[in-house]
Each structure stands twice: as structure tokens, then as C-alpha cells.
Amino acid sequence: MEKPVRIAAFYKFVPLPDYRDLRPALLDFCRALSVRGTILLASEGINGTIAGEQSAVESALSFLRADPRLADLLVKDSFHAVIPFGRMKVRLKREIVAMKAPGIDPRAGAGAYVEPEDWNRLIAEDDVLLLDARNDYEVRMGSFRASRNPETASFHELPLYMTRNLDPARHKRIAMFCTGGIRCEKASAFLLGRGFETVYQLRGGILHYLEKVKREDSLWEGECFVFDERVSLDHGLQKGGITICDDCKAVVKAEEEACPHCRSTNFL
């Protein structure tokens, strides 16, 4: 089936001291194109996912890249039959991903990027600790084999977990991953700032891995949670068959009529 809707995810850590002034024109431009989604603006940069007709999304991206600070904005694309967002939002935030750990600046030093094609080889090495930087309900939907689940309810809980459970004297090499890469930018910077010797991050996150690595070679198990109406994506970056209970955050399979944990029928 043809997938006419382009879904573009992007982020960049870059100083935007005028981020409040950027919002009105950006919001009006996207709305005029009938592009929908969410873009977060903060003094530390931009983070967003937008969807619409391919030409409209490309026009919105060109609008962003016209700002010299965003000229090299990298985008991860997927496609769907319908727009998985109800409206267009441009929100002003303190952080483009809320870690709530003052002083963390990925531009000053973050984990070494590992390309998806090299990821399997790295995480197979015995001295590498593989850390899933996502929330617990995301991990339970799918993850890499043998990865460690911090069992956090939100990203801002991850620094406390890493402080309590990771030791730079023992954990010499840490490889981390998240959905699109942005959470690992901050989490890896946090670890490096606390004396960890070698930290890696999967470039482009899980979505980039699922795009670049063949299914038969993949070490990914399950589906990948995404923050839009599709809820999950399979290895072909198509809408998956798993959702999340909106009441207890349990994983619910497509064939289940009620949450297996709390019996709610209120699904994402």
C-alpha cells in the first residue's frame, strides 16, 4: 500500500538564544502547509517530528534550514498512510529533551557515535555494557538483546540510576541507545562528565538501526515505541501490532481486547 505521508524526525543541539522569537513564523509556516506534529524550541536547540505530504514536509525543513544554525539539520524519515498527529504545535521549553541535570551540554562532549552497520559488532564484545536509555514501558515493547533496563518512568530519572548503578572503575566501556539518539546525547555527556572512560551512542538511534540493518542480521527484538499515534514501529518502520495501556503502561498486543495487567481498554 502506498504511504503518501512523510514523517520527519530531527533534532540538533545548537545555541538558539532567540528561540522564543522563532516560534510564530515557524508555526504559521507549518500550518499553512497543512503540516502537523510537534517541534520543541529551547535555548539549547531544536527537537521535532512533523508529518504531511512529502513536498510540504520538505518545504518546512527548508524553512528551518534557511537559518544558518540549522543548515545541516539531519532528518530521519518514515512513511505512513495517514498523518499520525492531530495538529501542529511549536512549544517553548527549558530543554529540548528534559533531563533536568544542570550543566549538561552535549556540544561540549558526548559519546562517540557508532554507525548502525557497526553496532552489532560493538555490543557483542564482552567488556561492553549495553544500556537502554529509554523509559521502562518503551523497553518492554522491544529492545536489543542483553541490554540493561534502568526501569525509569521518565528520562529525568536516568541520571540518578546511572549515578547509583554505574561505576567508572568497573564499567570501562558503555554503549547506549534510545529511539532517535537525542536522549543518548545528554546521557552520554552526563557519564563522560563523571569520569567514565569510554561511552558510545548509536547514531540516529533505534530508528536509524531498523532502517539500515537487514532484518536477518538484526539484534533488535520486538517493536519500537514512537511518540505519535502509530505507537510502535516494526523492523520495516511500518506501524506495529503493539500498543500501550494508557492507565498502567503495560504492553498490549493487537489481538488483546483489554490490558492483560489491569483490564483497561484505554489504549494509546
Nearest to 8 by CA among 115, 84, 71: 84
- Check if 184 is active-site: no
Burial class of residue 39 in the structure, from the number of CB atoms within 10 Å of its CB (0-12 exposed, 13-18 middle, 19+ buried): buried
Are 244 and 85 contacting, i.e. CB atoms less than 8 angstroms apart?
no
55: Cβ contacts below 8 Å, ≥ 6 apart: none
How many degrees, rounded to 5, is the angle at CA 142 between CA 139 and CA 148?
45
The CA distance from 247 to 249, in Å, is: 6
- Give bridge partners of residue 131 from the DSSP assignment: 148, 176
**Interstrand relation of 220-222 and 142-144 (parallel, antiparallel or unpaired):** antiparallel
Element (H, E) at 118: helix 116-123
Are 73 and 61 contacting, i.e. CB atoms less than 8 angstroms apart?
yes
State the catalytic residue, choosing from 178, 224, 245, 259.
Answer: 178
Active site residues: 178
